[in-house]
């Protein structure tokens, strides 16, 4: 039975901060928990977006490929079954204007919810981090080596999540969004955008399931610096 009221998360953003980039969950398992989502692959090799059950990976060379769910493992990713209960049209809006629209109308700051924006964009700016080999650097070091992509007059889909401030560290508090254009040749972690004409879909979750890589010895042994990592996430995921 598909539970459309639950957000599934494998790993924590915290574990990426010191460089725990090994894939610890088969992508096929992630897809059992949802047909929509975002994440990354082993080595932090690119930005993943899952649309209609299909997992795409945008790499730092700009390539966009469909991943083989039986071969790829993920260190950190989210998925849910798409079933938005809130829908509205937006024209000519910046990220801040969209946020204001959402929180002016709905009291959602204390819960997790999914965001999907489908339509035309005046401007899209994304990034994809460069895949790393062991010994892995830290998240901050990787974030400094990212490729930037821009598109004007694009058409595509934004997918991602809002996480409440209380969960900063487990996730990145606020919005964490990825993008893929309809031509499937540009996407990544969303840095900036301007909506021309799009439909916005919100899906509020009753619960969030955080799944830990309990079989991964590096994770189990890591000495996390909680305060430091919260600051690192804020800087790397902005």
Footprint of its own copies (CB under 8 A): 6, 12, 14, 107-108, 110-112, 165-170, 204-212, 214, 217, 219-222, 224, 226
HEC letters along the chain: CCCCCEEEEECCHHHHCCCCCCCCEEHHHHHHCCCEEEECCHHHCCEEEEECCEEEEECCCCCEEECCCCCCEECCEEEECCCCCEEEEEEEECHHHHHHHHHHHCCCCCCCEEEEEEEEEEEEEEEEECCCCCCCCCHHHHHCCEEEEEEEEEEEEEEEEEECHHHECCECCEEEEEEEECCCCCEEEEEEEEEEEEEEEEEECCEEEEECCCCCHHHHHCCCCHHHHHHHHHHHCC
Smallest separation, CB 221 to its own copies (Å):
5
Closer residue to its own copies, CB minimum distance, 123 or 212: 212
Q: How far is the CB of 104 from its own copies (least distance, A)?
A: 13
Q: Cβ of residue 24: shortest distance to its own copies, in angstroms? A: 11
Residue 14 or 41 with smaller CB distance to its own copies = 14
**Is the Cβ of residue 101 or residue 111 nearer to its own copies in the bound state?**
111
Taking the complex as a whole, how short is the minimal distance between the CB of residue 4 and its own copies, in angstroms? 13
Please say which residue, 123 or 167, places its beta carbon nearer to its own copies. 167
Please state the closest distance from residue 226 (CB atom) to its own copies, in A: 5
Query: Toward its own copies, which CB reaches closer, 93 or 115?
Result: 115
């Amino acid at each position: 039975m598909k539970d459309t009221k639950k957000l599934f998360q494998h790993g924590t953003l915290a574990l990426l901060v010191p460089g725990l980039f090994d894939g610890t969950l088969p992508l096929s398992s992630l897809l059992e928990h949802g047909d929509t989502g975002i994440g990354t692959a082993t080595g932090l090799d690119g930005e993943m977006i899952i649309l209609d059950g299909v997992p795409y990976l945008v790499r730092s060379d700009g390539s966009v490929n469909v991943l083989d769910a039986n071969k790829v493992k993920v260190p950190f990713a989210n998925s849910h079954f798409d079933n938005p209960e809130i829908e509205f049209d937006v024209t000519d809006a910046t990220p801040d204007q969209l946020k204001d629209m959402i929180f002016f109308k709905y009291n959602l700051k204390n819960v997790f919810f999914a965001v999907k924006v489908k339509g035309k964009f005046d401007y899209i700016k994304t990034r994809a981090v460069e895949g790393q080999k062991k010994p892995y650097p830290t998240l901050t070091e990787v974030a400094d080596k990212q490729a930037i992509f821009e598109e004007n007059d694009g058409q595509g889909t934004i997918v991602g999540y809002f996480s409440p401030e209380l969960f900063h560290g487990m996730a990145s508090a606020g919005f964490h969004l990825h993008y893929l254009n309809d031509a499937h040749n540009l996407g990544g972690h969303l840095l900036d955008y301007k909506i021309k004409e799009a439909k916005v879909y919100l899906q509020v979750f009753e619960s969030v399931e955080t799944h830990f890589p309990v079989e991964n010895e590096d994770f189990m042994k890591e000495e996390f610096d909680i305060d430091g990592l919260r600051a690192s996430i804020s800087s790397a995921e902005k």
